C-alpha cells in the first residue's frame, strides 16, 4: 500500500496535457480519458479552445487552460466543419505553443510534462510538441473501421469514383465490404477536395508514437489488426471510455433530467429513444415524418430535439399541427438529455440514432438495439457496421418516411422478426463488459498505456 502511494505520488509529478477537438462528440471521450489517467496517478492539464470551453467546476481534478482560438461568429456559424477545423489548427498554433512552453519553464510548479495526447483532428498539437521536443500520442474518438474507410478514399478518388454517381450508390465498395458507396463519409455539404485534404492529415501519424482508441478489440478486431499492420506503432484500445471513467458530465448543453422521471413511469424496454447527436439537423418535412412515424408506432418515445436543429426554426415550432395533442403523455420531448443515463434506463428498448461513434458505443454497451439514420461523415460507416456487421440494428434506407419509421420501431422492439437483433445486442453488451473487466482487453490495454506513458 505504501509503495503504491509512493508510486502515485511520483506519478502525480508527471503531467499529461490533453488537447481535445472542441465538439461535444470529441470533448467527452478526451475528458473521460483524462479522468482515467488521473485515477492512475497523473496530473492532467486540458488545453482547450475558448470555443465550447467546458465548465471547470465540473472537472475539479483537471487544470483547464484556455487556448485563444481567434474564431469569428462566421467561422462558428457557417456550418462548414472542415473549414472550422482548419482555422482552429492555424489559429491555435502560437497560443498552444506559448502555453506548453510556459508549463515547461515552470516544471517545479506543474511537474514534468510526460506527453501531449491530442485528438487526431487537432493535428497542430503535434507540430507544436515537435518544436518543444515533447512526445505525442493520438486519441482517436471515432471507430477503427472509419479510419480504414478514410484510408481507402484516396484510391477511390484516383479510380475516378468521385463525385459519387446515383447509379453506383447501392454498389459494394470493392475494398470495403459490406460498405456500399452510399456508406462512404461524403456529404453534399462539403467539397471532396477539402475532405480528402483533411483525410490525408488524419490518416498520417507523422511523429506521434502511439494511438489510443475509444473502441474495443471484441468490436473492431479486424480493422484494428489491419491498421496496426499499416501503422506499426503501439495501439491501446481502451474503450468504451464513458464506461471506464467516472468522469462527470461534459455536456455543453444543459441536460433535462425530467425525462428520467418520465422514463421511470414507462414499462421495461418499451421506450424508443430518439436523438441525432450534437451536430446533425433536419428540415421541416423530416421532422413531420419523424413525428408521425413515432406516434404511429404506438411505442412511447423520448425525443431529443436540440435547439436550432430543425432548419428554419428555433426549437419545435415546426412540429406538425395536432401532433402534441395526439401524443399526450405517450411522448416526451427535450432539448438535450442525459443520454448515458437514458440508455442505461430499463424502460429504454431502442435507440433511433444518427450513429455518431459515441452514441453507437453508448447504445451497444447498454444492450440497446438501434435504428440508424446516419447524416454525415463516419456516421454512415458506423450505421452499416451496426446493421450489417454486428447486426444489432436496422438502417432507415431512404428519405425519412413515417411508414418506414413505424415499421422499423415495431420490428426492432416488438415483432418476433427483431428478436435476433435484440438478443445479439445483449450478447454484445456482455462481451464489452468482459473487455473492461480485470484481464479483459481494454483493461489490459489501459494498464499497458499507463506503463507506456511512464516509459516516455
Q: At what angle do helices 441-455 and 419-436 cross, to 10 degrees?
A: 40
Residue 134 C-alpha cell reads as 515533447
Strand 348-353 relative to strand 112-119, pairing? unpaired
| Residue whose CB is less far from ligand UDX, 49 or 275 | 275
| Residue whose CB is less far from ligand UDX, 27 or 173 | 27
Which range of residues in 21-29, 115-123, 319-327, 440-448 is near ligand UDX by CB under 6 A? 21-29
Give the residue closest to ligand UDX by C-beta.
356
CA distance 287 to 283: 6
Residue 24 binding ligand UDX, by CB under 6 A: yes
Residue 356 binding ligand UDX, by CB under 6 A: yes
CA distance 361 to 382: 10
Three-class SS state of 380: helix
Which range of residues in 7-15, 22-30, 104-112, 186-194 is near ligand UDX by CB under 6 A? 22-30
Min separation Cβ 279 and ligand UDX, Å: 4
Subset of 27-86 contacting ligand UDX (CB under 6 A): 28
Min separation Cβ 122 and ligand UDX, Å: 13
Residue 383 C-alpha cell reads as 450505421
Three-class SS state of 86: helix
Interface residue with ligand UDX among 336, 351, 373, 390 (CB under 6 A) is 336
Residue 142 binding ligand UDX, by CB under 6 A: yes
Residue 325 C-alpha cell reads as 395533442
Interface residue with ligand UDX among 378, 395, 404, 406 (CB under 6 A) is 378
Residue 340 binding ligand UDX, by CB under 6 A: yes
| Residue whose CB is less far from ligand UDX, 25 or 56 | 25
What is the four-CA torsion angle of 321, 338, 71, 17, rounded to 10 degrees?
A: -170
DSSP string for residues in 303-315? EE--TT-BTTSSS
| Residue whose CB is less far from ligand UDX, 215 or 445 | 215
Residue 190 binding ligand UDX, by CB under 6 A: no
- Contact track, ligand UDX, 200-219, x by CB under 6 A: --------------------
Find, among 431, 438, 379, 428, the residue nearest to 182 by Cα. Answer: 379
Residue 251 binding ligand UDX, by CB under 6 A: yes
Three-class SS state of 236: strand
Contact 320, 289 (CB under 8 A): no
Subset of 268-297 contacting ligand UDX (CB under 6 A): 275, 277-280
Interface residue with ligand UDX among 357, 373, 385, 390 (CB under 6 A) is 357
Find, among 304, 301, 330, the residue nearest to 315 by Cα. Answer: 304
Query: What residues have CB less than 8 Å from 348, skipping those under 6 apart?
Result: 263, 269, 271, 272, 273, 302, 342, 366, 368
Considering only the C-alpha atoms of the chain, give the largest distance between any 2 of them, rounded to a whole number of Å: 68
Subset of 111-130 contacting ligand UDX (CB under 6 A): none
| Residue whose CB is less far from ligand UDX, 34 or 277 | 277
Query: Total number of residues binding ligand UDX (CB under 6 A)?
Result: 26
The footprint of ligand UDX (CB under 6 A) covers: 23-26, 28, 141-142, 251, 275, 277-280, 304, 336-337, 339-340, 356-359, 362, 377-379
Amino acid at each position: 500500500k505504501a509503495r503504491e502511494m509512493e508510486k502515485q505520488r511520483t506519478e502525480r509529478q508527471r503531467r499529461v496535457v490533453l488537447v481535445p477537438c472542441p465538439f461535444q462528440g470529441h470533448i467527452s471521450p478526451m475528458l473521460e480519458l483524462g479522468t482515467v489517467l488521473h485515477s492512475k496517478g497523473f496530473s492532467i492539464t486540458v488545453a482547450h479552445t475558448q470555443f465550447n470551453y467546458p465548465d471547470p467546476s465540473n472537472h475539479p481534478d483537471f487544470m483547464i487552460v484556455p487556448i485563444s482560438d481567434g474564431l469569428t461568429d462566421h467561422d462558428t456559424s457557417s456550418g462548414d466543419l472542415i473549414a472550422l477545423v482548419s482555422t482552429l489548427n492555424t489559429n491555435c498554433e502560437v497560443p498552444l505553443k506559448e502555453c506548453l512552453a510556459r508549463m515547461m519553464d515552470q516544471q517545479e510548479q506543474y511537474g514534468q510534462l510526460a506527453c501531449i495526447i491530442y485528438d487526431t483532428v487537432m493535428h497542430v498539437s503535434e507540430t507544436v510538441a515537435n518544436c518543444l521536443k515533447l512526445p505525442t500520442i493520438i486519441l482517436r474518438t471515432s471507430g477503427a473501421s472509419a479510419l480504414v474507410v478514410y484510408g481507402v478514399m484516396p484510391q477511390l478518388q484516383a479510380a475516378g469514383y468521385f463525385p459519387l454517381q446515383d447509379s453506383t450508390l447501392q454498389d459494394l465498395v470493392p475494398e470495403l465490404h459490406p460498405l456500399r458507396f452510399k456508406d462512404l463519409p461524403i456529404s453534399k455539404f462539403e467539397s471532396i477536395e477539402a475532405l480528402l485534404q483533411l483525410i490525408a492529415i488524419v490518416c498520417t501519424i507523422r511523429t506521434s508514437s502511439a494511438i489510443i482508441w475509444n473502441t474495443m478489440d471484441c468490436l473492431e478486431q479486424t480493422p484494428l489488426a489491419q491498421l496496426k499492420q499499416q501503422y506499426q506503432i503501439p495501439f491501446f484500445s481502451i474503450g468504451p471510455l464513458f464506461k471506464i471513467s467516472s468522469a462527470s458530465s461534459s455536456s455543453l448543453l444543459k441536460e433535462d433530467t425530467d425525462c428520467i422521471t418520465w422514463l421511470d413511469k414507462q414499462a421495461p424496454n418499451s421506450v424508443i429513444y430518439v436523438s441525432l447527436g450534437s451536430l446533425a439537423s433536419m428540415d421541416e418535412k423530416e421532422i413531420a415524418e419523424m413525428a408521425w412515424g413515432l406516434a404511429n408506432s404506438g411505442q412511447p418515445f423520448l425525443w431529443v430535439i436540440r435547439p436550432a436543429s430543425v432548419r428554419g426554426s428555433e426549437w419545435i415550432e415546426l412540429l406538425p399541427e395536432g401532433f402534441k395533442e395526439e401524443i399526450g403523455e405517450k411522448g416526451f420531448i427535450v432539448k438535450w438529455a442525459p443520454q448515458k443515463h437514458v440508455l442505461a434506463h430499463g424502460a429504454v428498448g431502442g435507440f433511433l440514432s444518427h450513429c455518431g461513434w459515441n452514441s453507437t458505443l453508448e447504445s451497444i454497451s447498454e444492450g440497446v438495439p438501434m435504428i440508424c439514420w446516419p447524416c454525415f461523415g463516419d456516421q454512415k460507416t458506423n450505421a452499416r457496421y451496426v446493421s450489417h456487421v454486428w447486426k444489432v440494428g436496422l438502417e432507415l434506407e431512404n428519405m425519412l418516411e413515417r411508414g418506414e419509421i413505424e415499421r422499423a420501431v415495431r420490428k426492432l422492439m416488438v415483432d418476433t422478426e427483431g428478436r435476433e437483433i435484440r438478443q445479439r445486442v445483449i450478447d454484445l453488451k456482455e462481451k464489452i463488459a468482459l473487455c473492461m473487466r480485470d484481464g479483459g482487453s481494454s483493461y489490459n490495454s489501459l494498464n499497458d498505456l499507463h506503463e507506456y506513458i511512464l516509459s516516455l
